[in-house]
Amino acid sequence: MVVFETVLVANRGEIAVRVMRTAQRLGLAAVAVYSEADKNALHTRQADEAVLIGPAPAGQSYLNVDAVLEAARVSGAQAIHPGYGFLAENAGFARRVADAGLVWVGPPPEAIEAMGDKIAARNAMIEAGVPVAPGTSEPVRDASSAVHAAASLGYPLMVKAAAGGGGIGMSAVEDDGQLGAAFETARTRAERFFGSPAILLERCIRPARHVEVQVLGLADGRVVALGERDCSVQRRHQKVAEEAPAPGLSAQTRTALLDAARRAAWAVGYRGAGTVEFLFDPVSEELMFLEMNTRLQVEHPVTELVTGVDLVEQQLRIAAGQPPSFDPDAVPAARGHAVEFRVYAEDPVRFLPGPGKITAWQEPTGEGIRVDSGYAEGDTVTPHYDPLMAKLCAWGEDRAQALDRLGAAAAAFRVEGPKCNLPLLAELLDQPDFRAGDYDTGLVDRMRG
Amino acid sequence: MSNKIHAEMVANVWKVVAKPGDHVGIGDTLVILESMKMEIPVLAETEGTVRELAVHEGDVVQQGDLIAEVE
């Protein structure tokens, strides 16, 4: 690569480590940024150079645009990869990166903005011919307008922060009474977490499967789809396990899904790696656009395992104006099956966080096993950041083999110190409907009664 | 009889909802902690009067630290 030789990874934990691995494999130097809490963190150790950017709270470190740009300046980095979360979907940051004369390893800021507001995104998708669930086309201002809108949309409804993500502030409501309370909670959280009180109401699809498509907007403007993932195993509207391909989709549904995803990305002039999320109604076989994540996704490894494509490499190539490493006219199809489980520092029953010092950490190895970790033995999981410690992934010739390998790997994964949700995976693998690939987003709630 | 409520995990104190002298019922929110991007309400386990709030907004609590006492 000639456009940049040094890339700064503006993130922490497993994703920073994972991005740096590809950058270093490609011969690039990797610069880490770290907070005072992450002085000895794995991502800091993995980097060729590491720059302290502030105290532990993310607002003063990983979310501090000036500090990150200053770190790029002092380290001589020529490109910035944002990972996911933190500044990854911050269009203002993307502009500041470009204004500083650096390469932004991400989509154009206009595409981030077009998809960042869920209401504007829904409206743009309707215009682009991408199917959406019935919902409000303007922000809902107060509880009484919400009740008014609900009368025409019908229950059950989802109450969501228009600027939100990660399931924060989102809830399902069954009637006017629940709507009033949920609306106030959503608005408070929307303001606190996303800095905007705008609320969206959308028809709640139940049962539903969460399916999503990995897209790449190429440097020449074409958009290709690298297959789909199913992410229906969720707790608190956040994903716990993901797999590729999505089980049980008909060829016709898969074609419609990939086509809708390409159209969605095309409509906003997308470049780089992104994910278009849909809800799939397994009864009516209808697809409905949910949102587009304008960044690398946590669960991207399952796509890498079935396609053999390194998505971070494609991000770097696209940012450098180069063609992808595969022939865009013959996009690699999925081979075999891959499953990922998110290893969180939380208890497997109530899903409450349990940070702590890692006194033992032994990762499983074996055929088809991949572990992306942000921690190692002796590291401390602090309460300052999200609970993801590692991603345990397994590939198999078919789904049954992938699940068997995942189960064996989970049993061999030793984590002591923080709370750890690995027992949930063992339980999940014993669920007949999960085993059969016939499950929806209500699976974990049903397991917990 | 008094009931002392301790932190179940390392967390930041986001909001102190109750104040000394408040009358609370079982399940009323006393304090909201935040850990790993999640809000965790600390609830009254008994009915009574809040005698003490041992934390302030912005504090970091360790597992086992006293948060509040209700009597």
Q: Considering the domain boundaries, does residue A116 fall inside one?
A: no
Residue in B closest to A168 by C-alpha: B38
Asked if A29 and A156 sit in the same domain, the reply is no
Chain A residues touching B11 at Cβ < 8 A:
353, 383
Does residue A287 sit in the same domain as residue A393?
yes
Question: What confidence tier does A449 reach under pLDDT thresholds 50, 70, 90?
Answer: confident
Name residues 282-311 of chain A within 8 A of B (Cβ).
none
**Where are the extended beta strands (E) located within A47-133?**
49-54, 79-81, 103-104
Number of domains in chain A: 3
Average pLDDT over residues A99-122: 96
Same structural domain, A50 and A138: no
Domains of chain B: 3-70 (2.40.50.100)
Cβ–Cβ contact A356 with B under 8 A: yes
Residue A142 lies in a domain: yes
Contacts of A350 (CB under 8 A, 6+ apart): none
Q: Is residue A414 part of a domain?
A: yes
The predicted pLDDT at position A429 comes to 97
Residues A197 and A226 reside in one and the same domain: no
Convert the pLDDT of each residue in A29-75 to its tens digit. Answer: 999 999 999 999 999 999 999 999 999 999 999 999 999 999 999 99
Residue A324 distance to chain B (closest CA, Å): 35
Please give the Cα distance from A345 to A331 (Å, whole number). 37
A354 in the same domain as A300? yes
Per residue in B16-62, pLDDT tens? Answer: 999 999 999 999 999 999 888 888 899 999 999 999 999 999 898 99
At A360 the three-state DSSP class reads strand
CATH number at residue A52: 3.40.50.20
Same domain, A361 and A414: yes
**Residue A386 and residue B60: Cβ atoms within 8 Å?**
no
Q: Is residue A111 part of a domain?
A: no
DSSP A323: P
**Residues comprising chain B, all counted:** 71
Work out the minimum CA distance from B53 to partner chain A, whole angstroms. Answer: 21
Burial state string for A291-307 with b = 16 or more CB within 10 A and e = fewer than 16: bbbbbbbbbbbbbbbbb
Q: Among all residues of chain B, which has the CA nearest to that of A356?
A: B10
Q: Are the CB atoms for B70 and B57 separated by under 8 Å?
A: no
Interface of B with A (CB under 8 A): 8-12, 34-38, 40, 60, 63
Query: Per the CB < 8 Å rule, is B38 touching A353?
Result: yes
Tell me which chain B residue has its CA closest to the CA of residue A385: B36
CB atoms within 10 A of CB A14: 23
Q: What is the pLDDT of residue B38?
A: 84
Residue A1 confidence class, pLDDT cut points 50, 70, 90: very low
A153, A186, A203 - which closes a domain: A203
Count of H-run helices and E-run strands, chain A = 15, 20
Nearest by CB: B35 against A166, A168, A383: A383
Interface of A with B in 205-244 (CB under 8 A): none
Q: How confident is the model at residue A164 (pLDDT cuts 50, 70, 90)?
A: confident
Q: Indicate the residue among A149, A180, A203 that finishes a domain.
A: A203
Q: Are residues A38 and A138 in the same domain?
A: no
Interchain CB distance below 8 Å, A383 and B12: yes
Query: Do A154 and A253 have their domain in common?
Result: no
Q: Under an 8 A CB cutoff, do A383 and B40 touch?
A: no
Which residues on chain B are in Cβ contact (under 8 Å) with A352?
8-9, 38, 40
Q: Is residue A217 part of a domain?
A: yes
Same domain for A177 and A308: no
A147 has a pLDDT exceeding 90: yes
Q: What is the average per-residue pLDDT within A133-153?
A: 94
Determine contact: A346 vs chain B, CB below 8 A: yes
Q: pLDDT tens-digit profile of A222-251?
A: 999 999 999 999 998 889 999 999 999 999
- For A330-359, the pLDDT digits (tens) are 999 999 999 999 999 999 999 999 999 999
> For position B6, what pLDDT does the model report?
94
Give the separation between CA A86 and CA A77, rounded to whole angstroms: 19
d(CA A206, CA A127): 25
Same-domain pairing of A199 and A335: no
User: What pLDDT, on the 0 to 100 scale, is given for residue A336?
Assistant: 98
Tell me if A122 is assigned to some domain: no
pLDDT value for A397:
98
Q: What are phi and psi of B4, to 5 degrees?
A: -95, 135
Contact A346 B36 (CB under 8 A): yes
Q: Is A295 a catalytic residue?
A: yes
Give pTM, 2 decimals: 0.93
User: What does pLDDT average to over chain A?
Assistant: 96
> Where does A148-250 show beta strands of DSSP type E?
157-161, 171-173, 199-203, 209-217, 223-235, 238-244
Q: For residues A189 and A241, state if they share a domain.
A: no
Asked if residue A439 belongs to a domain, the reply is: yes
- Whichever domain contains A186, its CATH number is 3.30.1490.20
Residues A293 and A243 in one domain: yes
> Taking Cα atoms as reference points, which of B10, B42, B38 lies closest to residue A166?
B38
ipTM of the complex: 0.75
CATH code at A292?
A: 3.30.470.20
Residue in chain B lying closest to A344 (CA): B36
pLDDT of B1 over the 80 cut = no
Which of A159, A188, A203 marks a domain boundary?
A203
Amino acid occupying residue A293? N
Give B-chain residues touching A383 at CB under 8 angstroms: 9-12, 34-36, 60
Confidence of residue A2 (pLDDT cuts 50, 70, 90): low
**Is A128 within the bounds of a domain?**
no
What does each C-alpha distance from A180 to A120, A206, A445 come to in angstroms?
A: 24, 21, 24
Q: Domain containing A166: what range? A: 134-203
Contact A382 B9 (CB under 8 A): no
- Count of CB pairs separated by less than 8 Å, A with B: 40
Our CA-based measurement puts residue B69 at a distance from the nearest CA of chain A, in whole angstroms, of 22
- Closest partner CB to A386 (pick from B37, B60, B63): B37
Identified catalytic residue from A187, A254, A262, A295: A295
Which tokens go with A12?
């922490």
